Amino acid sequence: MAVLAFGALSVESVYAGGNVAPTEDLVPVPVIVEDCGFYVGGGASFLNYNEEYSDGVTANVDMNGITLIAGYQFNEYIAIEGRYITDIGGSDEDWSDGRTRTDTNNDLSNLALYVKPSYQFGDFKLYALLGYGQFSYQYKDTEKQSESGFQWGLGTGYKLNDNWLVFVDYTKLYDNRGFDNYLSDADYNADAWTVGVTYLF
């Protein structure tokens, strides 16, 4: 009888919670999904090309263009991005010696690959573009001038949702004396302001 009574008390203590350590509630661990993967995009660009000769004569050419983008976002801090820029429509030339031409069929293009470091706070993103590209320019009825070298840019973007980002940035496409195939005493500069969108897959 004593054995049976002890067994009954033991079973009762187990089911009644006697001397049994309470089980802690399991807290779910949040899963952080990083913004990474392939992305594509495009935008409208305002392009400027400038020449400054040693005799003081300068030329300023304005034109509109489009930018095509493809890249891969490794994490929220770094991406690699390819860009192709080309002009569309005519260009306006303004020379300091009084010469002007409007709606001229000049050509500008740029193909580049950039490392894109960025910092995000909230839905806003600040980023830089650091890389290597080939810039080409051609006046109407003249030989195309081109050269490859270092290029850089700065920009900011705003996330509309997990996939879409709108952005505006500035890119220095060229800043040098002469070209690989054209020796000159002039300084040449070219840059682009671009407003566009990207889509992250």
Dump pLDDT digits (tens) for 87-112. Answer: 998 889 889 888 888 888 899 999 99
What is the residue whose two structure tokens read 């980023």?
Answer: 127
User: Are the C-beta atoms of residues 76 and 32 closer than 8 Å to each other?
Assistant: no
Core vs surface per residue 99-114: b (16+ CB within 10 A) or e: eebeeeebebbbbbeb
CATH code matching the domain that covers 37-200, chosen among 2.40.160.20, 3.40.50.300, 2.60.260.20, 2.10.109.10? 2.40.160.20
Read off the pLDDT of residues 34-77 as tens digits, 9 standing for 90 and up.
579 999 999 999 999 999 988 889 999 999 999 999 999 999 99
Domain ranges of the chain: 37-200
pTM here is: 0.79
* The predicted structure's pLDDT at residue 104: 84
Residue 2 has a pLDDT of 44
Q: Is 56 helix (H, G, I), strand (E, B) or coil?
A: coil
Beta strands in the chain (DSSP E): 37-52, 58-73, 78-95, 100-104, 107-121, 124-138, 145-159, 164-179, 182-200
